[in-house]
Each structure stands twice: as C-alpha cells, then as structure tokens.
Amino acid sequence: MRRMSAPQRIAAAVVLFLVVLAVAVVGLNAAGVPIGLGPDASADASPASPAAEASRPPSEEPPPAGSAEPTSPGDAEVLAELAEIEEQVIAIRGLDAADIGPADIITRAELGSELQALFDEQYPPDEREKDNLALRALGLLAPDEDVAELQLQLLGDQVLGFYDPTDKRMVVVTDTGLDAAAKLTYAHEYTHALQDAAFQPPQFDPDADLEDDRALALTSLTEGDATVTMFAWAFENLSQQELIEIGASQELPDTTGIPSWMVSQLQFPYTTGQVWASTLAGANPLEPNFDELDAAYDDPPDSTEQIIDLGAWEPREEPVAVEVPDLVAVLGTGWEEVDETPIGQASIGFMLEHFGLARDVANEAADGWGGDRVRIATGPDGAFAVAWRLTWDTPEDASEFLTAYESVIGELPFPALVSAVGSDQVLVVHASDDVILRQAAGAAD
C-alpha cells in the first residue's frame, strides 16, 4: 500500500485563492454586482487582464500589494476578531470548539519558507525521488522536472492559509493585515480544526496509509465541507463592500510551467468537492444542514468517482479491486517497485487532458470507471516499466477509454501500448525500451 504523497498531505491543509475568490464572485453576483473573474476563469489570464480589471468596482483603485504591514498575531484586537470568527464558525458548523493556539499571520514572502519547511519535514528525499520516477514513467513529468519544486511553486502562488494538524497551528497569509480575505481564510481554516477535533480525518495524519485516489476523495470531503461552511459564514458576516474588497484584491496565480494535471488535482477538492458537499448539505447555502456530511466522516468516500457522480455515492458504488502482477518478480535483479496505487476517475481525466485531449473528451473517457491499479518499477541504467490495468462498468466504457488512450499514446516519449483485456478491462503498459515493454505486457496480460 502506498502512503498518501507529501504534496497531497500538504495540499489537504491549505486554502487556495480559488475558494476565497469564489465567495466574492457568488456574493457579488447574488447582490447584482457584475464581476468578470471567477473560479472557472482561465489560469493563463494575467493580473492585468480585462477579467481582473472587471473585478474591481469602477470607483475604487486596486490596492497596492503589501501596502500595509501584517497585523501581529499577538495583537489583542486581532485575537479578539479571530475568536469572534471561531464562535461564528462553531455556530454554523455545529461542532465543539477546537483546542488550538493563537493564529500566525504571515506575509506571502514568509510563506515560501513555511512551505519549504513543511516539505522538508514531510517529504524525505527518497520518497520525493520515487514520486519523480513514477510520474516520469507515467508521462506526467519531463526528465528535468521535479514534483516538489513544481508543487512549491504552485502552492506558493495560491495558498492563502493553512491548518497544520500535527502542531494544531493556524496560519493566515496576508500582506494587508486582517482584511476581508484573511477573515474568510480563517473561517475556512478553523473549520479544518473543528473537523480534526471531531472526526480525526485520516488524511490529516502524515503517517496514514492512503492510496492516491482515496486520498483525493477524502480531501474532497474535508475541503468541500470547509468551503460550504466558509460560504455560509461569508454570507452571514461579510458586507457587500467586503466581498468587493476580496474580488478586487485577488489575482489569478501564474501557473506557467506547471503541468495541467497538477493544477487540476490541486483544485479538484475545492471545486468538485464543494459541489458534492453542497449537495449533501441541502439547497440553501445560507443555512446548510451538516447531518449528511457528519455521517460521511464515519463512512467516507472511497474513490473520486463517488465525488464526481452522486449516483456512485448514494447508493454506494464501491471500487472494483484490480490485480496487477509483481513487475519486479518478472523483470528480475536490480529492479525496484516505486509505486502501486489506483489512479482513479478524476486523475485519469486529468492525465488524458494533460496528454492533449479536450477536457470534456477526457472526462467522458474517464466516466464509467470501475476500478484500476498501476504498478511502476525501475531498474538498472534508468530502465522503467509500468503495468496499469483498468476495469470499466460496461464494455462501451472500456472501449471509449481504449480509443482515447490510443489517440494520445503516440505522443509519449517512450514505448507504450494499450489493449483490451476481455470485454470490460483495458491494459496500459509503458517501458523504457521495447524489450522491457514486451516483458511487462506479457506478465500483465
């Protein structure tokens, strides 16, 4: 069993600009204020784009970055404001108070060292290298790309705050003191502290044994829950002017050079997870009912399919267990397994889009997922092999994925094949050369 990767563990604790901006967009639209920047905006848009300019009210100049000194976390007035937010979130979420210390309010410049310390602590070099080898063998990283460096770049541009469940520590990132965006971030992060105290979600444990797809589904539960709570808090406690302030101050992050699958995987719990959690919480975002979400912590989602498709959540459609032969046993001396995990419906869609398919085509090809498992091994002189078997709900679903993968496999920078196995399974094999490809395919077929 593969431990939840360090980037996933760290991302499970952060709140992105995306959700903060989404509150401003929804709130302003509800109030009838036109706004051109939202969570579905292109990540390629620059801060000076017309969409970003449209997010500022005509009578207000954009605030200069870092124009105010951050408020000290020890300031009595700040602590009183944060304590008030905690009481408001407790009233909305209906959980007992969390025993945490005073929040740290840091600048974005200071965030870099905070994230670096988290990665250094939770992402040892051997785990990081195994992830790099696995992602390169899947075709998701180039040889000169490093997963930790890319994640640090991505998170550094997007994180507005985080809750550290190990130290029970709250951190809010702001260059302008305890403004509306910082308050909103605190409402989201304090919800994580409440979740931790009440339910001890397994993904908050850095030593939890969680395979990748289940880890992403569990993160969608906690982030979706926190986003629903944050929306309810914002509508109840922020004025229209404060929502305007948030919309004017948030800029789209620069994701240049970040693989698209990585951006999509980071955003999934905040977007699709929020839709899933909102459905469970009822139709009224001002007064969410958390009974079903509370129950979900006792019997949480097992796959991203259950987050994407409510028909797979209720009634529960459990993932099909898929077996893949041990590649190391087949390939012999000098080989080592670096990963074994289900990839899951959400990440299959992200992969296919990364390989060049349109998003709707990629998502359609991933639909109908029943279960999968990939095994990745590395050998002497940079050799590698990937055996990935997938099972589908129907033969038509299997055929659709097969056709989609056939359309992109020629773009991979190494030998690869995809083939049908029976009526409802598909086998994907990657390798560093044709000889290893034939060996891995023969073992996995």
- Angle at CA of residue 79, ends 111 and 86, nearest 5°: 90
CB 212 within 8 A of CB 372: no
CB 245 within 8 A of CB 179: yes
Beta bridge partners, 391, equal 371, 425
pLDDT of residue 17: 53
Q: pLDDT above 90 covers what percent of the chain? A: 58
Is the model's pLDDT at 158 over the cut of 80?
no
Q: What is the spatial distance between Cα 25 and Cα 267, in angstroms, rounded to a whole number?
A: 17
Helix (H) / strand (E) containing 347: helix 344-354
Beta bridge partners, 14, equal 162
Strands 384-392 and 425-431: antiparallel
Query: 3-class SS at 418?
Result: strand
Domain ranges of the chain: 6-313, 327-444
pLDDT of residue 118: 79
pLDDT of residue 62: 36
Poorest-confidence range of 155-159, 178-182, 278-282?
155-159
Q: What is the spatial distance between Cα 272 and Cα 349, in angstroms, rounded to a whole number?
A: 13
Q: What is the spatial distance between Cα 269 and Cα 344, in angstroms, rounded to a whole number?
A: 14
Higher pLDDT among residues 248 and 424, named by residue: 424
Poorest-confidence range of 199-208, 273-282, 323-332?
199-208
Query: 3-class SS at 253?
Result: coil
pLDDT of residue 48: 28
Place of tokens 């299997």: 398
Q: What is the spatial distance between Cα 200 and Cα 221, in angstroms, rounded to a whole number?
A: 13
Mean pLDDT on 166-186? 86
Is the model's pLDDT at 27 over the cut of 50?
no
Tokens in use for 389? 């078997």
pLDDT of residue 138: 97
Per-residue pLDDT tens digits for 378-413: 999 999 999 999 999 999 999 999 999 999 999 999
Q: Integer distance in angstroms from the first to the last C-alpha of the chain?
A: 22
pLDDT of residue 375: 97
314 band by pLDDT with thresholds 50, 70 and 90: very high
Helix 180-199 vs helix 291-298: crossing angle, to nearest 10: 50
Per-residue pLDDT tens digits for 75-90: 788 889 999 999 999 9
Neighbours of 438 (CB within 10 A): 14
pLDDT of residue 43: 31
Q: With a threshold of 0.75, does the pTM exceed it? A: yes
Q: pLDDT above 70 covers what percent of the chain? A: 82
Helix (H) / strand (E) containing 7: helix 6-11
Q: Is residue 315 reached through a cis peptide bond, with omega within 30 degrees of 0 on the bond before it?
A: yes
Mean pLDDT on 7-28? 51
pLDDT of residue 19: 54
Mean pLDDT on 242-256? 74
Query: 3-class SS at 18?
Result: helix
Is the model's pLDDT at 125 over the cut of 80?
yes
Is the model's pLDDT at 28 over the cut of 60?
no
